[in-house]
Structure 1
C-alpha cells in the first residue's frame, strides 16, 4: 500500500511555483474582484479548486494574504472611523436574525475581514483602547457578556483565514514545519550549520534560520546562510525582507540563499536589490549543484 501511494504521489503533476507576471496579475485581479463582496476563505477555495488549480495552492494563499494586507492597511482608518455606525447597524439588526452570521454578512458588505469587523465593534462597544484586551475576547469569545455577539464573534473566528488566533496558529505551525524541513535537508546534504538558537547563544540578534559553518558553493556562488520562508516571494514582499532581514545577514555573514517554499514571481530574482549576495530558490538546492568543503580529518 505504501509503495503504491508513493508512486501515485510521484505521478501527480507538479503545481507551478514560479509565476509569470501575467499569471500573477490575473490572480491579483481575481482576488480584488472576488473580495469586493465575498469572504477571503471562499476566494481561496475558488482559486485552489477551480480557477487556478494548476498553481501551488499555498502560493495562492500567500498572494491572497498579501493583497488583502495591503488593501486593509490603506483602509483601516476609514473602517475605524465608522466603528460607531457599524456597531449601531449591528445593534439594530441582531434581533432580526436567529443565526450567528450577521457580522459575517456585514464584513462582506463592507469588504473587510470578519475578525477586523469584530475588533472594531468590540473596541467601540466596550471602550477598549488596548489591543491585547480585544485579542483576549477574540481568542475566548465566551468572555463576551453578550451571548448573541459572542456567537457572532465565534462564527467569524471559523470563517476568517486572514486574521485571528486560529489563522495565526496555522501560519506559525507552517513556518516551523518548513524551518524543520530546511534543517533536515541540510543535514541530509552533509551541510554543517548553526541554527537560530545556537546563534542567539553566541550573542547575535538578527539571525538566519541556518548559518553554515563551512561555506559551500551553489552553482559557483558562495553560500554562508540559508533563510526559510513559508511564503510566496513577490517583488514587494521580497524587498521588505531585504530591508528587514537579508541586508543585515549579507553585511554580517556574506552571501546566502533565501528559499520561498511556495514559489516566487519571475521578476523577484532579477531585482537589482539581490546584488548584495542573495540567491532566490523555491526549494532546497539540488545536491548536484552543491560543492561542499570537506571537514578536516583529524
Structure 2
C-alpha cells in the first residue's frame, strides 16, 4: 500500500473540490468512479488519496440518503422482484439508478423481505449469502459483495488490514529512529481508555516542538474529517499527554495543518518525521527502567539528556 511515486498527496482546496464534485456527479458503481479518477481525470493524484476521498464523500451521501431509501423499502423490493427475472445483475442496476452502494441496497432489500429489524441479522446474511432462502437474491447479494468497494465485509476487512499495516509501519519507523514508546496495548493495560497509537516513554523534539504521542491515520485528512478527529480523539490526547503528531499517510488538504484547531498542540504530517528534524531525549547514565504509569501523563522531562537522532540502543 505504499504511495505511488511522484503522485500528489497534499491537495489544494480547488483540486480537492474538483475531486469531490466528480464523485458526487458520477453515475455508476463506486469502483468504476475510482478507476476513472485514477486513470483518466486525476492521474497525478495519489490513488490512495483518491480512494479515501471517494470513501468519505460516498459515506456522507449514504448517511443523508439512508432514511429516504428505508422509507421506500417496500417499493424498492417490489421493483427488485418484478425485474429480477429480466436481469442477472438487477441489484447493481438498481443501485446505480438510485445513486447508492450495492451492498447498502442489499441491506434494505434483505431487511424488508425477511422483516429483519436488527442490523446484525442483516450483516449475518451479507457475510453468508448461501443462507438466503431465495437463490436469485442470494446470487445477487454475492455479486454485490464483489462489486462494491465501499461497504460490506470484504471492504471492512481491507480497511482494517490497511489500518493495521500503517500502525506497524509507524512502530517500525519509530524504532529505527531510536524512539522509545508505549503502544495502545501497553497504555490500555495501564488503564487508559482513549489512547494514541504510540506514546513516547520520553518525549522528543520535532523542529523545536515537543512531541509526546503520534497517531496514525491510513486516510486522507480533509479539514472536515480532521476537525472531527480532533473532537473525537486528538483533543483528549493533548489534554492528557501534551502536544503530538497525527500522520495522514494518504495526504491531506493543504489547509489542514494550519487550522486554528491545531493550536492545542497538534502537528499534521503526511509521513513519518524526517530524521534530521528530530532531537531525541535519552535516559541519563543509570536510568534503565521506563517511567511508572503515572509518569506517562506527565510528559516526562526529568533525568534526560538530548541526543540528535540517537540510535536505538536495543
TM-score between the two structures when normalised by the length of structure 2 = 0.89
CA-to-aligned-CA distance 1:162-210 (integer Å, 9 cap, x gap)? 1000000000000000000000000000000000000000000000000
* Aligned with residue 19 of structure 2, among 27, 41, 44: 27
SS of the residue corresponding to residue 127 of structure 1 reads coil
Residue 132 of structure 1, CA deviation: 0.3
| 1:79-118 equivalences in 2 (<5 Å) | 79-97=69-87, 99=88, 101-118=89-106
Q: For residue 85 of structure 2, give the secondary structure of its aligned residue in structure 1.
A: helix
Equivalents in 2 of 1:141, 1:295: separation in Å? Answer: 57
Match of 1:134 in 2: 122
Shift of 1:51: 1.3
Cα distance in 2 for residues equivalent to 1:21 and 1:95: 47
Instruction: Compute the displacement of 1:297 (Å).
Output: 2.2
User: SS of 1:70's equivalent?
Assistant: helix
In the alignment, what sits opposite 2:238? 250
Q: Establish whether residue 67 from structure 1 lines up as the match of residue 31 from structure 2.
A: no
Q: Does 1:78 align with 2:68?
A: yes
Gaps of 5+ in 1: 1-8
4+ residue segments displaced more than 2 Å? none
CA distance in 2, matches of 1:296, 1:229: 33
In the alignment, structure 2 segments of 5+ residues that lack a partner are 287-314
Structure 1 position 13, deviation (Å): 4.3
Cα distance in 1 for partners of 2:180, 2:5 equals: 33
Q: State the 1:282 CA deviation.
A: 0.1
TM-score (norm 1): 0.94
Query: Which secondary structure state, in structure 1, belongs to the residue aligned with residue 247 of structure 2?
Result: strand
Q: CA deviation at 1:74?
A: 1.1
Instruction: Render the CA deviation track for 1:85-122: whole Å, top value 9, x for unaligned.
Output: 0000011111123x2x1100000000010001000000
CA distance in 2, matches of 1:68, 1:125: 25
Paired residues, number: 285
Which one has a larger percent helix, Structure 1 or Structure 2? 1
Q: Secondary structure at the match of 2:151?
A: coil
Provide the aligned C-alpha RMSD in A. Answer: 1.3
Q: Which secondary structure state, in structure 1, belongs to the residue aligned with residue 205 of structure 2? A: strand
